[in-house]
Amino acid sequence: MSKLCGWMPEDAGEMMQTLRYVVFRDVLLAMRRRADVATTLFFFVIVASLFPLGVGPEPKLLRAMAPGILWVAALLASMLSLGRLFAEDYADGSLEQLVLVPEPLALVVIGKVVAHWLVSGLPLVLISPVIALQFDLPRDAIVTLLLALLLGTPLLSLIGAIGAALTVGVRGGGVLISLLVLPLYVPVLIFGAGAVDASAMGMDASGHLSILGALLLLGMVLAPWATAAALRISLE
Amino acid sequence: MLEVSSLGCLRGERRLFAGVSFSLRPGGLIWIQGGNGSGKTTLLRTLCGLTHAMAGEVRWSGTPIQLLGEEYRRELTYIGHANGLKEDLSAQENLLVAAHLVGQPVSRAEVAGALQGSGLAGREHLAVKFLSQGQRRRVTLARLRLMPPRTLWLLDEPFNALDTHAVAGMRKIMENHLSQGGMIALTTHQDVAIQAADVQTLRLDA
Amino acid sequence: MKLNWFKYASPVTFYPLAGKLIPWFALAAAILTVAGLYISFFVAPTDFQQGESYRIIFIHVPAAWMSMFIYIVMAGWAAAGLIFNTRLSSMMASALAPTGALFTFIALWTGALWGKPTWGAWWVWDARLTSELILLFLYMGFLALHAAIDDPRRADRASAVLALVGVVNVPIIYFSVKWWNTLHQGASVSMTMAPKMAATMLLGMLIMALACWMYSIAAALMRLRCIILEREQQAEWVANLAKEPT
């Protein structure tokens, strides 16, 4: 805990302080439960490894399918961890306290999304090159995959937070989240996998990455507000 | 000053209560009483701004709380039915994070002092999941020892699971808060005599 | 005397108004459907490229139009309910959703029926069909969320947020799917009309579209009346209504 006080700059604005403490709190909690973080990661690895077993070990086919497989696995893994984003805080009453924080709720949401990405998105990005090697992707394509996941996974967390907030405290919320969120993930999947595809075929992927970046910006602006509105409604 | 005028709330399509009016001045205490399901928690949550009222409004110094937003939230401390503690964090971490989140930087020594005052000395570093229900409630209530500048306390069954000793300690803190011009709205099933200049009672199922 | 528009924003006054309107819209829908189908099947000329199978577009295209249009209208009502806290607008949104989902399903189904003779497969990952499929998922999400929340007010507000998020996403999804399709398949036979469409074809399609409009309004109003009764079952006027001989 001594880290806690040294980690905060003294002159940080109150808003930044709240934001940082939300991130800190959630990351600290995740570190206390490392098994949960590992579960998401292994889910990603296992789903990606199941496809060759399903479609056969033909390297050419696998190479062609790799971008799509990796992205679908990333989508599912990111969605799997969404259930925890607000549900536990709701159950133990700390979500009410977070809503009563004297800062805009969207700020708290941003903090929680950042923490969610650090805990469930970033590890996935880091391990993806290893999975890509299993599918024999060329080196350029692996670099593109890393960049695309780096831009795409925060977007998945942002969009997913809306679904998680809407289903807080709803029975069967876990299954419902997938129904709400997966259709909204479609553009991320198309441009993310498209970038890797283009790169694997020796084409320029910067167009795809730019669109992903633009979508990420749009998501950063709009998703926290929608999530905040959804949280207020769910807590009523 | 907190003013509540002809407040009405629904649960689902059923009316919980209607026409609730009162005002709370500095140093004032209001007991919200009523049987189970009479809407005590809903009323407190409405006072927090967590639940929207179907009728009437809640004003703080003359302005509806929806318009005040963060400004109003800066004035209040809400202790809900649930403790709002993270099981995997220790009592000290819970309090430190909670205080920093609401923009009240406290030192570890202050937190340790508050926990000691709540009779939790020696258990500061134990994860909350190893504490008993009564001890968890004490950790939650220790927030009140840490955050004196907040004027309005909204407490939902604060004495639940507490032993008589802890109840007496809490009573003293609440009396102290009231004597300094604070305001308290609370629900409780227990009979605790709190000394205050201005004590009101509100029965919801009347 | 000033006309009070807000008078009809209350379920109590809207319920009888809706009851009076429904027969007219239903009648219009029936007449227009008969006229539209007659033109589509007997008057419109046979297409020289696609033969008779093209005639499914007289149902397919209006259904696809309606599916997208209803989603936007539904989101509009939901937003109004969220912002102005008018209960009738939220009820309107949930009354529209099943009709929208139905048209989406019809568009997909007729698309498959058209695809078999034209493309040789029931399903082709054509940009329009794929977007339409995702639109169906969005409708399903709206309906599922609304059904999963017990408190009707919370259900209204939560699904309103979802509808608004969906409406922001629909164009993004549509363009990304379209872009994905051109990249992977090149130009395929699309369901767009030939530029020189016969005037009777256009007429048939417009009449069918109008029929779909009338049907949607009638169906939504009927569903709305049911929702009003369900929500207001404890109100006095509903009790009086039940006593009245019909």
Break chain A into its structural domains and give their ranges: 10-235
- pLDDT tens-digit series, residues C90-139: 999 999 999 999 999 999 999 888 888 877 888 888 788 888 999 999 99
**Proportion of chain C above pLDDT 90, given as a percent:** 43
Residue ranges of chain C whose CB lies within 8 Å of a chain B CB: 150-153, 231-234
- pLDDT tens-digit series, residues A47-84: 999 999 998 888 889 988 999 999 999 999 999 889 88
Inter-chain contacts counted by CB atoms under 8 A, chains B and C: 11
Burial degree of A218 (CB within 10 A; 0-12, 13-18, 19+) = middle
Q: What is residue C212's predicted lDDT score, i.e. its pLDDT?
A: 94
Q: Could A222 and C168 be called an inter-chain contact, meaning their C-beta atoms sit closer than 8 Å?
A: yes
Of C141, C144, C165, the CB nearest to A226: C165
Q: What is residue A30's predicted lDDT score, i.e. its pLDDT?
A: 92
For A28, A46, A120, B86, C50, the CA distances from A39, given in Å and listed in that order, are 17, 10, 10, 21, 53
Entry pTM: 0.89
Among residues A106, A72, A87, the alpha carbon closest in space to that of A185 is found at A72
- pLDDT tens-digit series, residues B173-198: 899 898 888 899 999 887 777 887 78
pLDDT at C64 over 50: yes
- Tell me the C-alpha distance between C177 and C180, whole Å: 5
pLDDT-based confidence at C2, cuts 50/70/90?
very low
Average pLDDT, chain C: 84
pLDDT at A216 over 50: yes
Q: What is residue B17's predicted lDDT score, i.e. its pLDDT?
A: 85
- Tell me the C-alpha distance between B133 and B82, whole Å: 11
Preferred mutation among C145, C164, C167, C168 to probe A, highest tally of A CBs within 10 A: C145
pLDDT at C196 over 60: no
Preferred mutation among C172, C175, C178 to probe A, highest tally of A CBs within 10 A: C172
Q: What is residue C194's predicted lDDT score, i.e. its pLDDT?
A: 53
Q: What is residue B66's predicted lDDT score, i.e. its pLDDT?
A: 86
Q: What is residue C188's predicted lDDT score, i.e. its pLDDT?
A: 43
- B33 near A CB under 8 A: no
pLDDT at A42 over 90: yes
pLDDT at C5 over 70: no
Q: Could B11 and C151 be called an inter-chain contact, meaning their C-beta atoms sit closer than 8 Å?
A: yes
> Both tokens of residue B95?
């309090």
Q: Could C161 and A180 be called an inter-chain contact, meaning their C-beta atoms sit closer than 8 Å?
A: no
- B89 near C CB under 8 A: no
**Range from A162-171, B15-24, C60-69, C210-219 carrying the lowest mean pLDDT:** B15-24
Contacts with C158 from chain A: Cβ below 8 Å? 166, 230, 233-234
Contacts with A183 from chain C: Cβ below 8 Å? 134, 137-138, 141, 169, 173
Report the 10 Å Cβ neighbour count for B9. Answer: 20
Contacts with A4 from chain B: Cβ below 8 Å? 93, 96
> CA nearest B81 in A: which residue?
A93
Average pLDDT, chain A: 89
> CA nearest B52 in A: which residue?
A236
Contacts with C153 from chain B: Cβ below 8 Å? 10
- pLDDT tens-digit series, residues C210-224: 999 999 999 999 999
pLDDT at A10 over 60: no
- pLDDT, mean of residues B75-88: 90
pLDDT at C190 over 50: no
Q: Quote the minimal CA–CA distance from C191 to chain A in Å.
A: 23
Q: How does strand B183-187 pair with strand B28-33?
A: parallel
Break chain B into its structural domains and give their ranges: 87-150
- pLDDT tens-digit series, residues B141-164: 888 888 656 789 999 998 888 888
pLDDT at A8 over 70: no
pLDDT at A11 over 50: no
**Range from A23-37, A183-197, C3-17, C229-243 carrying the lowest mean pLDDT:** C3-17
pLDDT at A33 over 60: yes
Residues 6+ apart with CB under 8 A from B157: B81, B187, B188, B189
**B16 vs C3 pLDDT, higher one:** B16
Question: Which residue pairs, CB below 8 angstroms and at least 24 apart, start in C98-102?
Answer: C98/C143, C98/C223, C99/C70, C99/C216, C99/C219, C99/C220, C99/C223, C100/C66, C100/C67, C100/C70, C100/C71, C100/C74, C100/C139, C101/C136, C101/C139, C101/C140, C101/C143
CA C180, C184, C188 angle in degrees (round to 5)?
Answer: 95
- C143 near A CB under 8 A: no
Residue type, B147: M
- pLDDT, mean of residues C24-52: 85
Q: What is residue C48's predicted lDDT score, i.e. its pLDDT?
A: 67
- pLDDT tens-digit series, residues B119-139: 888 888 888 899 999 899 999
